[in-house]
């Protein structure tokens, strides 16, 4: 008996399908899919969440100082004339960042192997690249989902049957984060 469902696809197609659905599930919170796909998605998602719960507090906060270009009200860099040349003006800024421990960094890299990157587009500028932003799903796992499931020992997802699909009578289910 095989250790996984083949879902009628080649290995590369299957991996891409599951990666996409796991990313969608973690981004949206729930998705509608077939029962066989949901059972495979559940395995991957539960392992990612368990990894995030295990490593959620495994970092140290560090204060760093960096140079940032000063900007005017329009968002353009401010320039000064020094020795006949236009030079950008920089300000020193202190910022507190989270520095991952080696085990948390390893967990983050393993998550990025499975998850796709998500680009969030505001509704008013749909279809344009302006004001889009990348959403780091691994960061969402550490910051939002891991604290939520910290006291829970597994069982982070729920599969609810909603009936057969009209076209081919495949059993449709909703898989959601509990």
114 shares a domain with 83: no
| pLDDT at site 12 | 96
What is the per-residue pLDDT for 82? 85
Question: Residue 81's pLDDT is what?
Answer: 87
Classify residue 172: in a domain, yes or no.
Answer: yes
- Structural domain count, the chain: 2
Residues 68-87 have a mean pLDDT of 88
Judged by average pLDDT, the poorest of 21-30, 34-43, 56-65, 128-137 is: 128-137
Mean pLDDT across 64-91: 89
Q: Do 78 and 158 belong to one domain?
A: no
Say whether both 117 and 50 belong to one domain. Answer: yes
Is 137 within the bounds of a domain? yes
Average pLDDT over residues 104-114: 96
Provide the sign of the torsion angle of the four alpha carbons 122, 124, 126, 130, taken in this order. Answer: negative
Does some domain include residue 3? no
In a domain, 158, yes or no: yes
132 and 65 share one domain: no
Q: What's the CA gap between 125 and 176, in Å, rounded?
A: 29
- Domain membership of residue 69 (yes or no) is yes
Torsion of CA 168, 170, 174, 175, to 10 degrees: -130
pLDDT of 144 reads 94
Residue range of the domain that includes 143: 11-58+102-177
pLDDT tier for residue 1 given thresholds of 50, 70 and 90: low
* CATH number where 43 lies: 3.90.1030.10
Q: Is the pLDDT of residue 164 over 60?
A: yes
**Residues 108 and 151 grouped into a single domain:** yes
Distance CA 81, CA 111 (A): 48
pLDDT at 79 over 80: yes
**In terms of domains, do 122 and 172 share one?**
yes
**Mean pLDDT, the chain, as a whole number?**
92
Q: What is the pLDDT of residue 126?
A: 66
Neighbours of 174 (CB within 10 A): 14
Same domain, 109 and 25: yes
Residue with tokens 């300000």: 91
**What's the pLDDT score for residue 129?**
72
pLDDT > 70 fraction of the chain, expressed in percent and rounded: 98
For residue 127, pLDDT over 80 is answered with: no
Instruction: Answer yes or no: do 51 and 128 share one domain.
Output: yes
CA–CA distance from 90 to each of 83, 85, 172 (Å)?
A: 17, 15, 57
CB atoms within 10 A of CB 145: 21
164 and 123 part of one domain: yes
Do the domain assignments include residue 2? no
Are residues 167 and 148 part of one domain? Answer: yes
């Amino acid at each position: 008996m095989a250790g996984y469902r083949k879902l009628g696809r080649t290995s590369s197609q299957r991996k891409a399908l599951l990666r996409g659905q796991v990313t969608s599930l973690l981004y949206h919170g729930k998705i509608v899919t077939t029962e066989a796909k949901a059972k495979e998605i559940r395995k991957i998602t539960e392992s990612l969440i368990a990894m995030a719960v295990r490593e959620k507090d495994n970092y140290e906060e560090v204060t760093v100082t960096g140079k940032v270009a000063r900007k005017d009200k329009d968002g353009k860099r401010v320039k000064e004339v020094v020795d006949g040349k236009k030079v950008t003006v920089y300000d020193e800024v202190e910022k507190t960042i989270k520095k991952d421990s080696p085990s948390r960094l390893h967990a983050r890299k393993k998550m990025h192997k499975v998850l796709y990157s998500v680009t969030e587009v505001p509704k008013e500028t749909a279809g344009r690249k302006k004001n889009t932003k990348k959403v780091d799903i691994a960061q969402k796992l550490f910051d939002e989902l891991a604290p939520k499931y910290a006291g829970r020992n597994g069982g982070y997802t729920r599969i609810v049957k909603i009936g057969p699909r009209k076209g081919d009578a495949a059993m449709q289910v909703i898989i959601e984060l509990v």
